[in-house]
């Protein structure tokens, strides 16, 4: 697929806010200290966006792109690439909410590794403690898993009180989330950041009610609950929409009103192009909103037009409760505007 992608630094920041993660992994090793911290940055999307990820790779000039059955993943592990390319980018185009806190810890650890501090026992334990404040809502790391890593250090240096002394000192000083003072002051969202945010975890949908003759349009952006402030900023940015807390430890920004979609969302986004399939979904959703406003689905011919335009959006229509033909047969029978 040939496509002219528009990848800007602020778009990358917004895309990372949605689909990126900063991780400190710990690898076992036999020489030197028994564990080695490895900072990893990655972005994940559906495999249909493979071409986009190749372009991100080319644009940044770092990392690698991997493809599996479901997803495409852009990964950066090189400490030099992280320090020389990623840190300057995210320092200038900051993330928000808990993602910013995670990035600040990631940055601190990356710089410590660059300075070889991870090769000292004290530096390694500091990194270990810092890493357990990252991604707390989604991380599988627990106090037990942390204790396993500490025990590896104790086994390596058995009989020496040094490890336990350092752990106790660092645990006492780090009993609160570190680096909170590095949170950026609230900044207005930029259009490029929002474009990246929507490309990452936004959605434009058209829903077909199956119990009565009604069609709705829907625009959402989802993020982890700890970054709900980003969604509240979207309310201010678009001057519409509502933010909901979800049971899955996530939050959702949502716009369902046709007038808001046409009068507030569309004017903000009409002059940009999304890098993902969201562009196609956006154009179709706005077209359907215009048809709905003009009572389009109240006539059989208008209903058929909307169905043909939007039924196969989002997973090819596989998520619909009934099939396209069943829907048309129910609300637009042969002889009343439906073409066989």
Percent share of the chain, pLDDT over 70: 82
pLDDT at 181 over 50: no
The residue that leads in pLDDT, 24 or 336, is 24
Which of 9-18, 25-34, 219-228 shows the lowest per-residue confidence on average (mean pLDDT)? Answer: 25-34
List, for residues 48-70, the tens digit of each pLDDT value: 999 999 999 999 999 999 998 89
Q: How far is CA 128 from CA 117, 119, 120, 123, 166, in A?
A: 12, 12, 12, 9, 12
224/95 Cα distance (integer angstroms): 14
Q: What percent of the chain has pLDDT over 90?
A: 58
Rounded Cα distance, 26 and 142, in Å: 14
Close Cβ partners of 299 (under 8 Å, ≥ 6 residues apart) = 337
Superfamily of domain 191-331: Homing endonucleases (3.10.28.10)
Q: Say if 9-177 and 191-331 have the same CATH topology.
A: yes
pLDDT for position 257: 94
- 305 phi, psi to nearest 5 deg: -60, -45
- Find the mean pLDDT for residues 267-296: 93
Separation CA 34–CA 28 (nearest Å): 6
pLDDT score of 144: 67
- For the cut 50, the answer to whether the pLDDT of residue 1 exceeds it is no
pLDDT at 337: 43
Q: Where are the domains of the chain?
A: 9-177, 191-331
pLDDT band at 157 (very low <50, low <70, confident <90, very high): low
| DSSP code per residue over 260-283 | HIIIIIHHHHTT---SSTHHHHHH
Q: What is the mean pLDDT of the chain?
A: 85
Highest mean pLDDT among 18-22, 127-131, 157-161, 311-315 belongs to 18-22
Each residue of 183-212: pLDDT tens digit? 445 678 999 999 999 999 999 999 999 888
pLDDT per residue as tens digits for the range 84-123: 999 999 999 999 998 999 999 999 999 999 999 998 888 8
Structural class in CATH, domain 9-177: alpha beta
**Has residue 163 got a pLDDT over 80?**
no
pLDDT greater at residue 47 or residue 149: 47
DSSP character at residue 86? I
Q: What is the pLDDT of residue 301?
A: 85
């Amino acid at each position: 697929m040939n496509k002219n992608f528009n990848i800007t630094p602020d778009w990358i920041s917004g895309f990372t806010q949605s689909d990126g993660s900063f991780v400190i992994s710990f690898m076992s090793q036999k020489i030197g200290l028994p564990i080695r911290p490895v900072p990893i940055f990655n972005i994940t999307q559906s495999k249909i966006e493979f071409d986009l990820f190749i372009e991100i790779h080319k644009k940044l000039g770092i990392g690698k792109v991997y493809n599996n059955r479901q997803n495409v993943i852009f990964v950066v592990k090189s400490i030099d690439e992280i320090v020389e390319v990623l840190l300057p980018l995210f320092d200038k185009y900051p993330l928000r909410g808990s993602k910013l806190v995670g990035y600040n810890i990631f940055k601190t650890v990356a710089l410590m590794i660059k300075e070889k501090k991870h090769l000292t026992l004290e530096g390694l334990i500091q990194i270990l403690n810092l890493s357990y404040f990252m991604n707390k809502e989604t991380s599988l790391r627990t106090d037990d898993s942390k204790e396993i890593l500490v025990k590896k250090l104790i086994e390596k240096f058995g009989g020496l009180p040094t490890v336990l002394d350092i752990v106790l000192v660092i645990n006492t000083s780090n009993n609160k989330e570190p680096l909170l003072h590095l949170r950026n002051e609230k900044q207005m969202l930029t259009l490029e950041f929002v474009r990246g945010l929507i490309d990452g975890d936004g959605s434009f949908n058209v829903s077909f009610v199956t119990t009565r003759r009604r069609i709705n349009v829907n625009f959402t952006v989802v993020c982890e609950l700890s970054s709900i402030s980003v969604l509240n900023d979207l309310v201010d940015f678009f001057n519409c929409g509502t933010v909901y807390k979800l049971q899955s430890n996530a939050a959702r920004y949502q716009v369902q009103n046709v007038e808001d979609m046409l009068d507030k969302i569309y004017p903000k986004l009409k002059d940009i192009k999304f890098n993902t399939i969201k562009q196609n979904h956006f154009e179709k959703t706005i077209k359907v909103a215009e048809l709905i406003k003009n009572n389009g689905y109240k006539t059989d011919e208008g209903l058929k037009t909307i169905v043909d335009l939007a039924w196969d959006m989002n997973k090819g229509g596989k998520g619909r409760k009934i099939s396209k033909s069943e829907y048309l047969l129910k609300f637009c029978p042969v002889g009343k505007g439906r073409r066989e």
